[in-house]
C-alpha cells in the first residue's frame, strides 16, 4: 500500500464508506479499443527517448499462445475507471498502442488493448476474464489488486502494472513493475530524509499523521511511524477522519495546532486535504511541511486549495519520475506529452499515465526481443533490465533487484501550480542518495506461485 495509490485505495475506501454505488449504466464487460485502419495511419518513429526501435514490422508467424495470433497480441488493462472516473490508464493504453501499431507493432503484430474495468470491487471477475483471453496484463492498476492476484498466478498471467496497490500484490510473482513500490521496503526514505534532516530538521520530532479511517490507511500509518522513527524522527500525533467525509475541518486543524505539529503526513483524498489546509490557514497554523502525496500532483489540487497554497508548504515525491513541468528539458517526457496530443487530444497527461507508459515500454521491448513470443520469454526479458529508465521518463531502476531505488524526485505545490522543489538533485532531475529502510514489522507478504501450487517451470 503506497502513497501513489491514495487516489485508488484510500479514496475508494472513502467513497465506499459513504455508500456510493460502483455501478453505472454502461456494460461491465471488457472494452476493446479500436485500432486505426491502414488509411488512418501515418508514419511513426519507432524510437522512444533513448530506446531505439521499440516497435516495428516483422514476420511474426503463427502462435498457439493464448492472446496471440499471427497478426495481434491481446493484452488486458486493469483499471478502476468505472468507479473513479479516471481514465488515465485507458488513455495511456490508447496512446502507446496507437503509436506502436503505427510503427509496425511488435515484430509485425499489432497490440490490441482490452480494458478490464474492475469498478473497484470486480477485480477477481476481470482477472478471470483476462486469464481466458489475454496474453498479459499491461499498463494498468487496481486499488484492490490483491483480490485477484492468486487467480492471476493460477492461470500464469504475467503482469506489467503501472502501479501496484496492496501488500499481497506488490512484488508478487509474475509481476514486472517498471519502478517502485518494492515489497518489504518503505518507498520514501530519500524524500523523508531530505524533509527531516535537511529541509526542516526542527520538524523531525513533531510529525503528525492524519488518515481516512480504513484498514488500508491504518496499516500505512504503522508503516510511516516505523520508517520515520528509523530516520530519527517521531510521530507525535495521529488521527483518523471519517471515510464518509468531514463537514468542518476546523476541529482537526485545532488539534494539529494544539499538538504543535510541524510536519504533516496526509493519507486521504486531496479534496479533503485542500479543505483541511484552508482550515489550518484560517486559524493561523502553518506546519513546516505537508506531504500531500502524489495523488495531489495535478491542477485540481491547486484549484481546490486556492489561496491556502500561499501559506502552506506542500510536497510530493514522484518515484523518481521526471516532472511534467520540466518536459521541455526531458525529451522522453516531452515525447509523451506530444503523443498524448496526437493520439488522445484533450486528455490530460498525468503522473500515473507516465508510469503506465513506462510499463508499456517495458512490455514492448521485452516482447520485441523474443524469437518466439511466449509468456516465459517476455517475463524473463523484462527482469533482465538492471537500469530501466523508460527511455528517460524515470531514474534507472533495477528490475532484477529486490531493493528499492535510491533515487527520488520531489515537487512542490504553489499558487501558480506544481514545480520541482529545491531538493538538490544530483543526477539530472533526480537525487540518488536515499537511504534504504526494510520494514521490521509484519505487514504481510506478496503472493507467490508456490502459494497456488505453481512454479516458474509451468510458465510457457
Helices 88-102, 331-343: crossing angle, 10 deg rounding: 90
pLDDT at 284 over 90: yes
CA angle 94, 404, 456 (to 5 degrees): 70
Rounded CA-CA distance 190/36 in Å is 43
pLDDT of residue 276: 98
Task: Tell me what the mean pLDDT of segment 367-383 comes to.
Answer: 97
All domains of the chain, ordered by start, with CATH? 11-184+326-401 (3.40.50.2300), 186-322+403-438 (3.40.50.2300)
* Residue-level pLDDT at 41: 41
pLDDT of residue 62: 81
pLDDT tens per residue, range 207-245? 999 999 887 788 899 999 999 999 999 999 999 999 888
Between 88-102 and 351-368, two packed helices, what is the crossing angle to 10 degrees?
40
pLDDT at 37 over 80: no
How much is the average pLDDT of 359-372? 97
Tell me, what's the pLDDT at 178?
Answer: 96
Residues comprising the chain, all counted? 460
Burial (CB count <10 Å: 0-12, 13-18, 19+), residue 39: exposed
Strand order in the sheet with 289-291: 235-241, 207-212, 263-267, 289-291, 314-317, 410-414, 417-420
What DSSP line would sit under 280-321, residue for residue? HHHTT---SEEE--GGG-SHHHHHHHGGGGGTS-EEEE-TTB
From 21-30, 100-109, 404-413, the region with the lowest mean pLDDT = 21-30
Q: What is the mean pLDDT of residues 55-66?
A: 89
Task: Count the neighbouring beta carbons within 10 Å of the beta carbon of residue 45.
Answer: 13
**Residue 30: its pLDDT value, please?**
53
Calculate the alpha carbon distances from 459 to 92, 112, 120, 153, 181 in Å.
Answer: 28, 22, 29, 10, 24
Q: pLDDT tens-digit profile of 427-447?
A: 999 999 999 999 999 999 999
- What's residue 45's pLDDT? 81
Question: Which triple of cell numbers denotes residue 214?
Answer: 480504513
For residue 166, pLDDT over 70 is answered with yes
* Distance in angstroms (rounded) separating the CA atoms of residues 450 and 131: 18
Alpha carbon distance 290, 98 (integer Å)? 39
pLDDT at 411: 98
- Residues of the chain above pLDDT 90, percent: 85
Whole-model pTM: value is 0.90
Using only the alpha carbons of the chain, give its radius of gyration: 22
Strand partners, 210: 239, 266
The mean of the pLDDT values for the chain is 91
Mean pLDDT of all residues in 163-173: 94
pLDDT of 126 > 70? The answer is yes
Is the alpha carbon torsion for 181, 187, 191, 194 positive or negative? negative
Residue 9 has pLDDT above 90, yes or no: no
pLDDT score for 245: 86
Q: What are phi and psi of 126, to 5 degrees?
A: -70, -35
On the question of a cis peptide bond just before residue 181, with omega within 30 degrees of 0, the verdict is yes
pLDDT of 60 reads 82
Predicted local distance difference test score (pLDDT) of residue 218 = 86
CA 28/CA 34 separation, integer angstroms: 18
pLDDT for 452 beyond 60: yes
- Measured from the Cβ of residue 244, the count of other Cβ atoms closer than 10 Å reads 14
pLDDT category at 418 given cuts 50, 70, 90 is: very high
Longest dimension (CA), the chain: 70
Amino acid at each position: 500500500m503506497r502513497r501513489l495509490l491514495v487516489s485508488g485505495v484510500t479514496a475508494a475506501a472513502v467513497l465506499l464508506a459513504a455508500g456510493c454505488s460502483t455501478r453505472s449504466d454502461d456494460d461491465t464487460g471488457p472494452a476493446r479499443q479500436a485500432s486505426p485502419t491502414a488509411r488512418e495511419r501515418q508514419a511513426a518513429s519507432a524510437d522512444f527517448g533513448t530506446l531505439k526501435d521499440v516497435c516495428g514490422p516483422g514476420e511474426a508467424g503463427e502462435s498457439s499462445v493464448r492472446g496471440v495470433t499471427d497478426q495481434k497480441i491481446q493484452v488486458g488493462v486493469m483499471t478502476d475507471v468505472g468507479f473513479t472516473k479516471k481514465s488515465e490508464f485507458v488513455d495511456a493504453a490508447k496512446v502507446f498502442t496507437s503509436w506502436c501499431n503505427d510503427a509496425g507493432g511488435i515484430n509485425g503484430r499489432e497490440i490490441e488493448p482490452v480494458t478490464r474495468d474492475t469498478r473497484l470491487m470486480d477485480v477477481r471477475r476481470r482477472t478471470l476474464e483476462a486469464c481466458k483471453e489475454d496474453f498479459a496484463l499491461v499498463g494498468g492498476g487496481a486499488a484492490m489488486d490483491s483480490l485477484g492476484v492468486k487467480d492471476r498466478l493460477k492461470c500464469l498471467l504475467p503482469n506489467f502494472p503501472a502501479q501496484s496497490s496492496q501488500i499481497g500484490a506488490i512484488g508478487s510473482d509474475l509481476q514486472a513493475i517498471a519502478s517502485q513500490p518494492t515489497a518489504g521496503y518503505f518507498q520514501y526514505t530519500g524524500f523523508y530524509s531530505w524533509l527531516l534532516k535537511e529541509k526542516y530538521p526542527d520538524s523531525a520530532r513533531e510529525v503528525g499523521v492524519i488518515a481516512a479511517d480504513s484498514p488500508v490507511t491504518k496499516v500505512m500509518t504503522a508503516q510511516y511511524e516505523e520508517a520515520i522513527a528509523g530516520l530519527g524522527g517521531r510521530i507525535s500525533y495521529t488521527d483518523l477522519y471519517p471515510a464518509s467525509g468531514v463537514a468542518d475541518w476546523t476541529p482537526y486543524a485545532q488539534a494539529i495546532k494544539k499538538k504543535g505539529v510541524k510536519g504533516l503526513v496526509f493519507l486521504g483524498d486531496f479534496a479533503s486535504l485542500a479543505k483541511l489546509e484552508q482550515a489550518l490557514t484560517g486559524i493561523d497554523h502553518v506546519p513546516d511541511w505537508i506531504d500531500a502525496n502524489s495523488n495531489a500532483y495535478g491542477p485540481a489540487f491547486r484549484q481546490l486549495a486556492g489561496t491556502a497554497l500561499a501559506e502552506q508548504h506542500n510536497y510530493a515525491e514522484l518515484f523518481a519520475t521526471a516532472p511534467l513541468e520540466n518536459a521541455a528539458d526531458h525529451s522522453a517526457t516531452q515525447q509523451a506529452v506530444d503523443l498524448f496530443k496526437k493520439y488522445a487530444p484533450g486528455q490530460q497527461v498525468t503522473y500515473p499515465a507516465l508510469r503506465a507508459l513506462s510499463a508499456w515500454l517495458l512490455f514492448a521491448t521485452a516482447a520485441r526481443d523474443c524469437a518466439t513470443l511466449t509468456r516465459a520469454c517476455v517475463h524473463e526479458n523484462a527482469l533482465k533490465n538492471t537500469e530501466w529508465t523508460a527511455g528517460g521518463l524515470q531514474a534507472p531502476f533495477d528490475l532484477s533487484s529486490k531493493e528499492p531505488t535510491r533515487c527520488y524526485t520531489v515537487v512542490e505545490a504553489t499558487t501558480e501550480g506544481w514545480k520541482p522543489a529545491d531538493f538538490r538533485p544530483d543526477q539530472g532531475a533526480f537525487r540518488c542518495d536515499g537511504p534504504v529502510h526494510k520494514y521490521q514489522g509484519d505487514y504481510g507478504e506478496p503472493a507467490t506461485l508456490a502459494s497456488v501450487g505453481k512454479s516458474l517451470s509451468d510458465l510457457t
